[in-house]
């Protein structure tokens, strides 16, 4: 399968290969062979957007009409309307997809919404018990086969978001056993769609959400739970692999940055130290190490780490150094940012850009 890139990236590749060909570095066949490994991503279609919005509006109108007359319908009639609506919309989508693929896919999208609405409505009609999150799980499981059949990563993304809602809603409820298979499945879905960065991003969010559930279920206190996520963020950032490491690196940077700032507050160390002065000392020691780590990453070109350095400095200013004149604080902060700007500009010229 050819790797999909944007049209601008493909044009840049063509220009570079033309230059290499003119310089005698590659042959005509080699140029053609390299280009055959890539294809241009389809641009966002105005027609697709238009018909998708139209299909959603039609669906909402029909659902609104049914809802306004819902109380006057019998249970069998309600169930029949749900089933006929789901089958009819999907059948229409497949029927027109051969000649009008964009319209057909929009109707299939609408079928997914009707399917989800049907799950909630059937539960209401027959007074099914259970947790509300189960409905999102069933909705997600029903969307997955359609997404794979349509080879549509955005449809699968919708299924992943529904599954994420299921895992998030399970906090404080029974352990979501399905998540043990569902979380790995989200990574398989990302790999199936040519290691999609977007799908991988939400797969990581779902995995982190499940870990959050486990820390709460096992009654891991705020300090140790925060340290766990700080460590996970560091591992995501530094462990190199071939599965879109840039996505892991970005999310890891934000994860250990947010949890690192949280660990600079003395109160979070209360579980480990009863004496307030020890809590302050622990937070300051951690903050020093945290800032050193951030500066090391800034030296490697991490712009996000620079942001967390600024957040950490401002956090200590508001907590400790409020006696300083605000004007002096802003002047010093501005000079620091100007210094970093100069440093990054030099780095960009010498290394070719800033990384996350």
- pLDDT recorded at residue 2: 65
- The answer to whether the beta carbons of residues 139 and 115 sit under 8 Å apart is yes
CA distances from 23 to 26, 28, 34, 37 (A): 8, 12, 16, 22
Report d(CA 136, CA 169) in Å as an integer: 9
Q: Tens digit of pLDDT for each residue in 20-52?
A: 888 888 888 888 888 888 877 665 555 666 666
Confidence of residue 161 (pLDDT cuts 50, 70, 90): very high
CB-based burial of residue 333 (10 Å sphere; 0-12 exposed, 13-18 middle, 19+ buried)? middle
d(CA 27, CA 22): 9
pLDDT at 1 over 60: no
Average the pLDDT over 217-246 and give the result. Answer: 89
pLDDT score of 67 more than 70: no
pLDDT at 78: 76
Give the residue-averaged pLDDT of 70-82: 75
CB 354 within 8 A of CB 347: yes
Does the pLDDT at position 321 exceed 60?
no
pLDDT reported for residue 353: 47
% of the chain at pLDDT higher than 70 = 79
Count of beta carbons in the 10 Å neighbourhood of residue 28 = 8
Model confidence at 327, in pLDDT bands (50, 70, 90)?
low
**What is the reported pLDDT for 247?**
92
Encode pLDDT of 181-210 as tens digits: 889 999 998 888 878 889 999 999 999 999
- Break the chain into its structural domains and give their ranges: 1-43, 45-126, 130-219, 254-356
β-pair partners for 3: 38
pLDDT at res. 179: 84
């Amino acid at each position: 399968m050819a790797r999909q890139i944007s049209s601008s990236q493909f044009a840049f590749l063509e220009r570079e290969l033309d230059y290499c060909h003119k310089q005698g570095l590659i042959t005509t066949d080699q140029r053609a062979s390299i280009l055959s490994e890539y294809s241009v991503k389809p641009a966002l279609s105005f027609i697709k957007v238009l018909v998708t919005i139209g299909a959603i509006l039609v669906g909402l109108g029909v659902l609104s009409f049914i809802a306004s007359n819902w109380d006057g319908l019998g249970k069998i009639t309600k169930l029949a309307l749900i089933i006929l609506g789901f089958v009819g919309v999907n059948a229409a989508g497949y029927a027109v997809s051969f000649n009008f693929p964009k319209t057909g896919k929009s109707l299939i999208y609408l079928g997914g919404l009707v399917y989800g609405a049907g799950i909630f409505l059937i539960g209401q009609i027959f007074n099914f018990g259970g947790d509300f999150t189960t409905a999102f799980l069933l909705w997600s499981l029903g969307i997955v086969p359609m997404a794979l059949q349509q080879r549509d990563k955005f449809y699968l993304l919708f299924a992943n978001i529904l599954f994420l809602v299921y895992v998030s809603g399970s906090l404080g409820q029974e352990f979501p056993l399905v998540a043990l298979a569902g979380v790995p499945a989200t990574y398989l879905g990302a790999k199936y769609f040519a290691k999609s960065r977007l799908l991988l991003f939400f797969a990581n969010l779902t995995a982190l959400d499940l870990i959050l559930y486990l820390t709460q279920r096992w009654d891991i206190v705020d300090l140790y739970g925060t340290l766990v996520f700080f460590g996970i963020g560091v591992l995501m950032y530094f462990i190199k692999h071939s599965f879109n490491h840039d996505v892991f690196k970005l999310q890891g940077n934000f994860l250990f940055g947010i949890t690192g700032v949280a660990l600079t507050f003395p109160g979070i160390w209360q579980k480990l130290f009863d004496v307030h002065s020890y809590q302050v000392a622990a937070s300051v020691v951690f903050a020093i190490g945290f800032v050193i780590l951030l500066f090391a990453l800034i030296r490697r070109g991490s712009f996000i780490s620079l942001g967390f350095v600024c957040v950490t400095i401002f956090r200590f200013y508001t907590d400790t150094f409020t006696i300083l004149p605000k004007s002096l604080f802003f002047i010093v902060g501005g000079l620091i940012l100007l210094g970093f700007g100069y440093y990054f500009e030099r780095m960009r010229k010498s290394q070719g850009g800033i990384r996350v």
